[in-house]
Structure 1
Amino acid sequence: MNNKTINIAYCTDANYLEYVATSITSVIMNNVHIPLAFYVFVYDVCDSDIERLRATSPLILVIEIDKAEIEKYQDNFTIKHLNRSVYMRLAVPRLLAGKVDKFIYLDADTLCFSDISGINKINIDEVICAVSHDSLDTNNNINAQRLNIQTGKYFNSGFLYINIGNWIANEVERKANLILFEKGETLPYPDQDALNIAMCNNFIFIDNSWNYIFNWYTEEQKETFFYVKEKLPRIIHFTGGRKPWFKEHDGLSQQLFLFYHHFTPWKNIPLRSYQERMRPTDYRVYSRKNWRQGKHLQSIKWYIKYLYSRLL
């Protein structure tokens, strides 16, 4: 394979397949001038959906994860509540060994907005991976403090540029799984926390534009960021529960998601509702958002739901 090819991997079950396809489409449409290869590791996905994913682009190689890889966690691990993707993503570097030397891992809730060819200029020969921060306050990271990480450094694992040889040599998968087994019940961000502990600072930070957390924007910026080209991140990561693919989360981010979604085989699938997943915090957020938009009746309805939920 061309050593300039940018290899990108995802790991998903059936629930996030169309969002992976949308993320991949955003990468392709903003990088038509460079060679790309996508490796999508899937489990619990029917054959028809796998064919849909393949139809998204000929650049996609779908790899079905062997049932044995999944069942060993069901049988041997006591942390039953953790999504299996937590464990599967840790296995991806091992499963890609021999195919590529380095690759970008991306979460499904990411969209690409710019050229990513610069990744080939980032040297990770001496580290396990290149990462980006999980907070704009890089000098006082509360997650590093929570985990008692002495360096004070903590990264967001939705984007990882991984050196497979170094990952395997440092036994990251085994170490992270052991941490999950011993502490998983107490970790609010299980795989991310485990990776931060397991890598022991054997990583480098790169510019946050590779994994820009959407909630870093102010409410005003959330509706204008796409039009400020000189500051537009390469990749935006829509962390948290209010994803752009939920119909209640209208606005610029949803419009952009729908644009890329339109070029996937899921284009005729309507947006899903977030109602069943909502928490009191969500009701309050939507109330404020609707009030700012002048939708006062909708705002009052959301706020009543918020008050009612607090009384339960």
Structure 2
Amino acid sequence: MAMHIALTFDDNFWAPAYATMRSVCLFTHRRQDLVFHLCHRTLSDTHRADLERIGEEFPVELRWYDLDRSEMFRDIAARMPENKRLSNIVYARLMIDRLVGPEVERILYLDCDMLVRDDVGHLFDLGLDGNSIAAVRDTIGAFITGGRDLKNNRDLFDPADYYFNAGLVLIDIAAWREADIIGRMEAAYASGVMQRIYYDQDLLNLIFKDKWLKLPWRWNVIDARHAHEGLDPAILHYTGENKPWGIFSGMLQSVAYARLYRHVMTNELFYRFARHRWKRWWKRKLGLGR
């Protein structure tokens, strides 16, 4: 059975996308079943060639979706609230049902700031028990929705309700399509709700309230720290300020599996990505663009 996995990224995040994909491949025996759906934008030929090396090392299939050529994505990204930290590439996962072919019945969405160290086949073998999706409860979900003193958006979210992190979502495509995600987002934007909430993650929690299967925490360890290593996490999610692709030892001491991450990304790509980020930083510093 094919294991379909979707990632979304732009040209400044190609190396972490590579690391996430490669970690999936390294930690499963079902490599021949893997199909990666790569939803990208602004991707250079050089960086695409780096990603294509996944298919040279492992017997996997890569399917490419150039979002810059998608009129629907361009329209949505231009009109919805801008995600200054992540860019509006985050909205691409909402239209995943409209990108993949009819043969795809279930797909696993993964953020590209993740390191996988267990077999994702376990997730594909799960029954959803009548739910539309499966995900992991967010450790600070109440603060995300409620903000300071947990008083915001109480007309939309009850802090007593479980709230999931959308960095990992196992999706039943038929149920996702039936939920009409894009239509619901358009309605939320027209009513002013989208302008109040935490981008697409809040929206998905509103749409799938009481319709998601709660996965064990180890499948999405949010803000993965060094202390998590002793708890046998399956997927590390580097949501904190310190990232495993940093090059300063002080920053990495608190990040889980930083050394493993560097070798999963490969040393060559790790240091090339570091130079890429330094170049971007200096351009911004000198006012030369992103």
Q: Is the counterpart of residue 30 in structure 1 residue 27 in structure 2? A: yes
1:301 corresponds to: none
Q: Does 1:12 align with 2:9?
A: yes
Q: What does residue 185 of structure 1 align with?
A: 195
Q: What is the CA–CA distance in structure 1 between the aligned matches of 2:145 and 2:273, rounded to whole Å? A: 40
Quote the Cα distance in structure 2 between the aligned partners of 1:78 and 1:8: 25
Partner of 2:149: none
Question: Which runs of structure 2 are paired with 1:251-290 in the superposition (5 Å)?
Answer: 251=253, 253-262=257-266, 266-271=269-274, 272=277
Aligned match for 1:198, one of 171, 190, 207:
207
Please point out which of 104, 128, 134 is paired with 1:130: 134
Who is 2:178 aligned against?
A: 169
Contact 1:7 1:104 in 2 (8 A): yes
Between 41-50 and 163-172, the greater mean CA deviation after superposition? 41-50
Unpaired segments ≥5 residues, structure 1:
277-312
| In structure 2, distance between residues paired with 1:209 and 1:40 | 25
**What's 1:40 paired with?**
38
CA apart distance, 1:196: 0.7
What are the equivalent positions in structure 2 for 1:119-158 lying under 5 Å apart?
119-124=123-128, 126-135=130-139, 141-143=142-144, 146-148=152-154, 149-150=157-158, 152-158=161-167
Distance, in Å, in 1 between the alignment partners of 2:113 and 2:80 is 28
Offset of 1:95 from its aligned partner?
1.0
CA contact 2:245–2:270 (8 Å) conserved in 1: no
Amino acid at match of 2:233: P
Provide closer, same or farther for how the CA distance between residues 255 and 180 of structure 1 changes in structure 2, counting only shifts above 3 A.
farther
Are positions 1:207 and 2:216 aligned together?
yes
Shift of 1:214: 3.1
Q: Contact (CA 8 Å) 1:105, 1:159: kept in 2 or not? A: yes
Equivalence map 1:291-306=2 (5 Å): none
- TM-score scaled by structure 1? 0.73
* Counterpart secondary structure, 1:269: helix
Mean Cα deviation higher: 199-208 or 248-257: 248-257
* 1:272-302 alpha-carbon deviations (Å, 9 max, x no partner): 46x96xxxxxxxxxxxxxxxxxxxxxxxxxx
Measure, in 2, the Cα distance between the counterparts of 1:119 and 1:256.
Answer: 23
Matched residue, 2:234 = 234
Amino acid at match of 1:157: A
Distance across 2 between alignment mates of 1:78 and 1:5: 33
**Contact kept in structure 2, 1:8 and 1:106, CA below 8 Å:** yes
- Corresponding letter in the other structure for 1:170: A
Q: What is the alpha-carbon distance in structure 2 between the residues aligned to residue 30 and residue 91 of structure 1?
A: 28
Spell out, residue by residue over 1:137-170, the C-alpha distance to the aligned partner (whole angstroms, 9 max, x if none): x9xx444555433461200000000000000111
CA distance in 1, matches of 2:18, 2:2: 19
Question: How many angstroms does 1:64 deviate by?
Answer: 1.6
Partner secondary structure for residue 195 of structure 1: helix
User: Which residue number corresponds to residue 90 of structure 2?
Assistant: 86
Q: Give the 3 Å change call, closer, same or farther, for CA 260–88 of structure 1 in structure 2.
A: same
CA distance in 1, matches of 2:75, 2:112: 24
Q: Distance in 1 between matches of 2:77 and 2:221?
A: 34
The 1:255/1:7 distance shift into structure 2, 3 A limit, reads: same
Larger radius of gyration: 1
**Structure 2 unaligned regions, length at least 5:** 147-151, 282-290
Structure 2 match to 1:63: 65
Corresponding residue number in structure 2 for 1:246: 246
Deviation at 1:50, TM superposition (A): 1.8
Q: One-letter code of the match for 1:68?
A: E
Deviation string 1:48-78 (CA, Å, 9 cap, x unpaired) is: 3222211222522222222413331355x26
* Corresponding residue of 1:283: none
Q: Measure the CA separation in 2 of the matches of 1:117 and 1:67.
A: 31
